[in-house]
């Protein structure tokens, strides 16, 4: 990686193409919100626009918030911080995300009990080391319902659970204490979100239209976000390592662990890559989390060559469909095993 950036004299942060894309996404969100709230088109048109609004929220999460939280949008720290707070605009909490995703997920990827990004128990069984209940036999059917309420649960339940418990997941041993400013940010941004996405629409469009529109957008956003993150880790080919009982450590070196627990998908589809902010290049993202996704196609070639040279398995699926099918088959197998 260093050879590539030193040789090309390129910055590891985003380029003008990334800033153009992010500007388009923000403008799209503002436009959709304005039309829906202040003009409220016919029901059929409104439903389609609400679905687009939900997808737009997800894309802003993938492209702006995610990269900002990883300090890879810009060489300027303040711009990364502002971008990361896009999650608060979406109703979430950036401070929790950095603890839950940047630390636990990127450090303990696919390790049951430590990787809080994949902690959906007991509703879903994602690891053979997790307990199996009778209802898991049907998890490859009811996944759609769970994924559809992910965003709503995240904004209105999970964040508050983390805030009052101080823990990033139920059952987590480590308890976090927040600086005074984090308390203010949490409550102020939650109130702003509720005002912008609930109270103002009710005032202009009515309670019934607001509730219906919000649910449609939230369901689309939840499914979109959940599926993308699951396709990168919860598929048939990725590993779920178990720490050694003696040392509580993983036997594999960090980089090898990341490659073993992560999978790429649909990397040849430029539209998918544009939409997902490079999250379909998940192997490269886990190896180089502070490098902008605009460089992942070039880094992928180097990673694949290195894996081939050292006989390391590189996980990837040629399309979203193939990855999604593998995810459902994995849920089915874990539910019945």
pLDDT for residue 118: 76
Q: Report the distance separating Cα 90 and Cα 146, nearest Å.
A: 19
pLDDT for residue 6: 62
Q: Report the distance separating Cα 284 and Cα 17, nearest Å.
A: 19
What residues are paired with 265 via a beta bridge?
Answer: 317
Q: Report the distance separating Cα 163 and Cα 157, nearest Å.
A: 10
Q: Report the distance separating Cα 84 and Cα 65, nearest Å.
A: 4
pLDDT for residue 176: 83
Q: Report the distance separating Cα 136 and Cα 337, nearest Å.
A: 10
Q: Report the distance separating Cα 81 and Cα 35, nearest Å.
A: 29
Q: State both tokens at 278.
A: 């490079």
N residues, the chain: 337
pLDDT for residue 1: 66
Q: Report the distance separating Cα 114 and Cα 142, nearest Å.
A: 25
pLDDT for residue 318: 97
User: 10 Å Cβ neighbour count for 106?
Assistant: 15
Q: Report the distance separating Cα 258 and Cα 276, nearest Å.
A: 20
Q: Report the distance separating Cα 91 and Cα 54, nearest Å.
A: 13
pTM for the complete prediction?
A: 0.94
Q: Helix and strand tally (H, E) in the chain? A: 19, 2
* 10-residue mean pLDDT series, the chain (337 residues): 70 90 97 97 97 98 96 94 96 93 90 81 88 95 96 96 86 78 97 98 97 98 96 95 79 92 97 97 96 95 96 97 98 93
- Rounded to the nearest 5°, which phi and psi values hold at 64? -100, -60
Q: Report the distance separating Cα 230 and Cα 4, nearest Å.
A: 30
- Find out whether 62 and 280 touch, Cβ atoms under 8 Å: no
Candidates 102, 100, 99, 65; CA nearest to 85 is 65
What residues are paired with 332 via a beta bridge?
Answer: none
Q: What is the Cα 293 distance to its own chain's centre? A: 14
DSSP 32-97: HHHIIIII---HHHHHHHHHHHHHHHHHHIIIIIHHHHTT-S-SSHHHHHHHHTHHHHTTS-HHHH
Q: Report the distance separating Cα 175 and Cα 99, nearest Å.
A: 11
Q: Where would I find the beta strands (DSSP E) of the chain?
A: 264-265, 316-317
């Amino acid at each position: 990686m260093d050879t590539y950036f030193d040789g090309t004299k390129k910055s590891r942060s985003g380029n003008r193409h990334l800033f153009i894309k992010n500007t388009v996404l923000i403008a799209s969100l503002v436009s959709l919100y304005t039309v829906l709230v202040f003009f409220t088109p016919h029901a059929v048109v409104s439903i389609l626009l609400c679905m687009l609004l939900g997808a737009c929220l997800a894309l802003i999460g993938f492209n702006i918030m995610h990269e900002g939280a990883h300090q890879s949008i810009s060489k300027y720290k303040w711009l990364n911080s502002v971008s990361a707070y896009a999650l608060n605009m979406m109703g979430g909490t950036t401070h929790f995300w950095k603890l839950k995703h940047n630390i636990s997920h990127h450090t303990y990827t696919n390790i049951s009990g430590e990787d809080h990004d994949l902690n959906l128990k007991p509703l879903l069984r994602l690891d053979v080391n997790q307990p199996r209940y009778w209802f898991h036999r049907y998890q490859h059917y009811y996944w759609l319902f769970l994924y559809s309420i992910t965003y709503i649960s995240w904004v209105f339940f999970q964040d508050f659970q983390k805030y009052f418990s101080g823990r990033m997941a139920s059952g987590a041993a480590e308890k976090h204490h927040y600086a005074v400013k984090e308390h203010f940010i949490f409550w102020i941004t939650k109130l702003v979100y509720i005002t912008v996405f609930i109270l103002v629409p009710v005032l202009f469009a009515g309670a019934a239209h607001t509730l219906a529109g919000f649910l449609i957008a939230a369901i689309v956003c939840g499914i979109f976000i959940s599926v993308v993150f699951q396709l990168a880790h919860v598929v048939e080919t990725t590993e779920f390592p178990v720490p050694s009982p003696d040392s509580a450590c993983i036997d594999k070196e960090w980089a090898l662990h990341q490659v073993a627990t992560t999978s790429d998908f649909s990397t040849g589809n430029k539209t998918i890559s544009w939409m997902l902010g490079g999250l379909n290049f998940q192997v490269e993202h886990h190896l180089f989390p502070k490098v902008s996704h605009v460089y992942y196609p070039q880094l992928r070639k180097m990673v694949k060559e290195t894996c081939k040279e050292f006989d390391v398995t590189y996980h990837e699926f040629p399309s979203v469909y193939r990855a999604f099918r593998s995810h459902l088959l994995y849920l089915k197998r874990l539910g019945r095993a």
